[in-house]
Amino acid sequence: MSDLVDGYADQGELVRLMGITISEVSADRVIGTMRVQGNTQPFGLLHGGASCVLAETLGSLGAMRHGLSVGRPAAVGVDINATHHKGVRDGTVTGVATPIFRGVSIATYEIIITDESGDRVCTARITCQLRRP
């Protein structure tokens, strides 16, 4: 995951624990996958909080990449919401984050999470405040 976002190659322990892998990062699109196994709730379905972790990771990376272009590379999440459409019991899910709004002080991204069949599992939105480190 090195060099994904200048100065932010280490995405933290939670990302590693959840098995999130990032495959693409730009201000226009961020793509990542996460395993379902180990990220489930007591009924064996993908935990909604796990989907939120994936969404926040992807949206924040996009916001950080955008923030570099406006001199504010630190993105701090200030709002996140998610709608869970479908349960998933195994395999991996893929999230794609795309911008809804990119300003000087905030950036908002929509994250669509799908299962291996391409079915939508979750739709999330995150707004990040852009700050100087």
CATH code: domain of residue 103: 3.10.129.10
Task: In whole angstroms, give the CA distance from residue 35 to residue 50.
Answer: 10
13, 24, 56, 116: the active-site residue: 56
* Vertex 18 angle, CA 94 and 95, to 5°: 15
Structure tokens at 87: 């349960």
Q: How confident is the model at residue 51 (pLDDT cuts 50, 70, 90)?
A: very high
- Domain membership flag for residue 3: no
What single letter denotes the amino acid at residue 63? A
Residue 81 is assigned to a structural domain of this protein: yes
Predicted pLDDT of residue 9: 54
The residue segments making up the domain with residue 46 are 13-131
Q: Domain tally for the chain? A: 1
Examine residue 2 and state whether it is found in any structural domain, yes or no.
no
Q: Is 116 a catalytic residue?
A: no
pLDDT tens, residue by residue, 100-121? 999 999 999 999 999 999 999 9
Q: What is the C-alpha separation between 74 and 16, in angstroms, rounded?
A: 20
Is the predicted pLDDT of residue 74 greater than 50, yes or no?
yes
